[in-house]
Structure 1
Amino acid sequence: MSEALSIIIFLSTLFVLLGIGVWVGAALLLTAILGMALFTSAPIGDSMAVTIWGEQSSWTLTALPLFIWMGEILFRSKLSETLFRGLAPFLRRLPGGLLHVNVGASAVFAAISGSSAATVATVGKMSIPELQQRNYPEHMIIGTLSGAGTLGLLIPPSISMIIFGVTVNESISKLFMAAMIPGLCLALMFMIYIVIWAKLNRARFNPVEDLDVSHLGRRVLDLAPVLLLIIGVIGSIYSGIATATEAAALGVLGAILLSLSQRSMTWQSFTDSIMGSVRTTAMIMFILMGAGFLSLAMGFTGIPRALAETIEGWKLSPLALIAILTVFYIILGCFLDGLSSIVLTMAVIEPMVRAAGFDMLWFGVYLMIVVEMAQITPPIGFNLFVLQGMTGRDMGFISKASFPMFLVMCVFVVILVMVPGLATWLPEVLSK
């Protein structure tokens, strides 16, 4: 059976299952089982057991549930209130005012969560009512929050970055180092967009600035525990004192202490955080199981090799390859969430990228940014669904409000391609 027919069977089966609402992990497993039955005489059960065990037994993956648990604990704390009231006095004087708090708070929470959806939900539950009360335009409230919320995928400790590192066998610590400067630069670009928008709309942008700026010292002290937690988790990795897994355990302990100090942790919230992390981890592991087995099934057909040879035959320049991959992941993001896009495509994409001579640390950062776009791309953008639930606005309005942030990320991809040192400089310096 030809590779073309094999591709048609795999893709049609996968998209039919996803289209009728089958869980992503289950759809991947069922597609893989069909492929194994059609294209090989190998025992399906034995192959599945060996592959799944290999996918799930990586020591590096132990950091995943710990970082998720840390985010779940902080999501149920008073952190959103602390971030808003701590950052607002310092950012309100910038053109655009308190809209910058959406970006600043998202960047801070991203550095202790690793989840895009959790970042949007945590920051939004405090900032949306506060900004609406002060007459900020709703499309800017939603747009800045949906865009800045994607920083949870890029700024360490990123859950998606851990999955990418395990999939391509790259150091998680070095990937975290590579993502830090681009993450901060992207946050800065979001803030620059807000400044430009505020200056262009100065005549009709009249928010009510009734913010209490007294007791600034107390506000700084409120932020101190959060900043110390970030420094403790990320700093321990960058300094080489702890591995990503050990830093995640430190983060969980710090999150518990922070919640206790805020008097926001109850037995109910503690058990809810555990069950929330279990559900999220199980979902991610299920997707990894399916993707690993599907990669094996596709390997028997020779699809990855055939695609790599076909694209190699096009004699594309590295720049053209990146342009094609960008369009590919943007389109894929319309149908799959970011995590599924990563694990589903790496078996095919990784050999091509390595053959083209790209630094895999740089490519990991690039991939996180284009996958971030999927978080705000309808109809499957997770951040859009989170914001729809929080605001009650229709998906069309939320998508339109988020589109400028999508364009900002497109511009940043171009900058990253032109200046790869943004991602490669820090790992090189710290590894010496």
Structure 2
Amino acid sequence: MITTFPIVALFILLGLAIPVGLVMALVGMAGLHSIGGWDMVSGIVQSTPLSTAGSYELLTLPMFLLMAEFVLISGVADDLFRAGAAWTGRVRGGLGMATALAGAGFGAICGTSTAAAATLSATTLPAMIKQGYRPDVAAGVVAISGTLSMLIPPSVALIIYGLIAEVNIGKLLVAGIVPAMIVTFTIIATIYVLVLRDPSVAPAGPAVPWAEKFRLLKVTGPVLLLFAFVTGTIYSGIATPTEASALGALAGFGLALSSGKLNLGTFRKALVRATYGTCMIMLIILGATIFGYYFALTQITQDLIIWVQGLGISPWIVMVMIVAFYLVLGCFMDQTAILILTVPVIVPLVVALGFDPIWFGVVMIVTAEVGLLTPPVGLNCFVVSRYSGIPLSEVFKGVLPHILAHLLALALIVGIPEITLWLPSHMN
């Protein structure tokens, strides 16, 4: 009875579209009141904001968000697409493949999927439509490519997972690199298969002289430099994730400045947007912390672990059930809300079953990528539809083959944990 009412209230309030951070804080306070009265609520509410905001690792979020804002100002996404299109555009379906590569490159310098989807919608999608791509195919490529920002460092989603699950954020970010390469290859392979079945969906583009191809490769230099500033310093042990995020923000500022697009107005806009994003995430984490106290005191997680262990079934069967649960949940809930709600409960269970929490974090994010594409929520599909004017039903139609291919990539990452854990195991 103590646990039922707050959880039911939680889902009812979320269904009313009340911000998830506020909902979790209110429900957590109500649950704590049912256990220990107002004295318990008062004590936790007074101490939690300072202890949460005082976390050193939390500084990675505003720095990476600021870096992303500077990157958006620089317009580097346009350059990445032009370079990719020059090398692949002559191939049938080449612009779609270039979009996937641009999505991966943009993901390496921008950790939010919605920003990536919006940027790609404004740059790569019009180029594909102009070349004669079928609208649903072009929209599907853009929607799936935007999800790569969730996996490639500096991924905001991975950082949030690391903060809540209390795992090494540096290893977590590096662990996403190889799975991101697999997902990128899966997108390209899906485009190839679609064109192979029906060549009319994605025509070939004009040939580009070799001199122009090599000239356009120069635009990838700033992206590689920024990636080295962030992921390279983390992997080599030169900097912690927090220090690397500050270096990334500085490099992003330099990139925007060198592009000639940074002025007082755009600089202020970048600061304001990064501040808004940080405050939103902070409120979510604060609400999750209060809700987590309630979970800890009611011992829901411990009871769940004991119950699952008592079933006597293989841990791998349990893992498949957990992944299936996340796939279904992703159809109805925002991915940040899913992370905040489930990580405090599921991660201790995963660890008790003998699985690595870093590997599971990557699995969660790859699963969340599917949730960004599936109806009725499918946030990336809504973003693409809004920015392109393509009907939402067409976007969902175009993304369906990519969802099926994505599930195959997810199965590979789940079935072979070494794919995810090999790179972080060699970190300094």
For the pair 1:37 / 2:33, whether they are aligned, the reply is yes
For the pair 1:195 / 2:192, whether they are aligned, the reply is yes
Cα distance between partner residues in 1 of 2:10 and 2:367: 22
1:110-121 matched pairs, under 5 angstroms = 110-121=107-118
For the pair 1:176 / 2:173, whether they are aligned, the reply is yes
Distance 1:338 1:360, change over 3 A: same
The one-letter amino acid of 1:119's match is A
Shift of 1:161: 0.9
TM-score, normalisation: structure 1 = 0.94
Distance 1:361 1:271, change over 3 A: same
Shift of 1:59: 0.6
Which is worse superposed, 289-298 or 333-342?
333-342
Q: Which residue of 1 aligns with 2:387?
A: 390
For the pair 1:70 / 2:67, whether they are aligned, the reply is yes
Aligned residues: 426
Q: Which residue of 1 aligns with 2:15?
A: 19
Q: Which residue of 1 aligns with 2:323?
A: 326
The one-letter amino acid of 1:221's match is K
Cα distance between partner residues in 2 of 1:206 and 1:80: 22
Deviations 1:301-329 (A, max 9, x none): 23222222222222231211111111211
Distance 1:274 1:14, change over 3 A: same
Query: Are the counterparts in 1 of residues 103 and 149 from structure 2 also a CA contact under 8 Å?
Result: yes
Cα distance between partner residues in 1 of 2:2 and 2:387: 43
Cα distance between partner residues in 1 of 2:295 and 2:28: 8
Unaligned runs of 5+ in 1: none
* Residue of structure 2 aligned with 1:233, choices 230, 234, 240: 230
Shift of 1:206: 5.5
Cα distance between partner residues in 2 of 1:415 and 1:367: 14
Shift of 1:24: 1.1
Shift of 1:94: 4.0
Cα distance between partner residues in 1 of 2:377 and 2:417: 30
The one-letter amino acid of 1:18's match is L
Deviations 1:170-196 (A, max 9, x none): 111111221111111111111111111
Distance 1:324 1:84, change over 3 A: same
Q: Which residue of 2 aligns with 1:279?
A: 276
Distance 1:16 1:211, change over 3 A: farther
* Residue of structure 2 aligned with 1:427, choices 404, 424, 428: 424
Cα distance between partner residues in 2 of 1:206 and 1:347: 44
Three-state SS of the structure 1 residue aligned to 2:108 is helix
Unaligned runs of 5+ in 2: none
Three-state SS of the structure 2 residue aligned to 1:264 is coil
Distance 1:217 1:208, change over 3 A: closer
Give the % identical residues: 31
Cα distance between partner residues in 1 of 2:404 and 2:413: 14
Shift of 1:371: 1.4
Q: Which residue of 2 aligns with 1:207?
A: 203
For the pair 1:105 / 2:64, whether they are aligned, the reply is no
Q: Which residue of 2 aligns with 1:28?
A: 24
* Residue of structure 2 aligned with 1:149, choices 141, 146, 149: 146
The one-letter amino acid of 2:93's match is G
Three-state SS of the structure 2 residue aligned to 1:216 is helix
Which is worse superposed, 392-401 or 132-141?
392-401
The one-letter amino acid of 1:238's match is Y
Deviations 1:267-305 (A, max 9, x none): 111111111111111111111111111111122223222
Q: Which residue of 1 aligns with 2:136?
A: 139
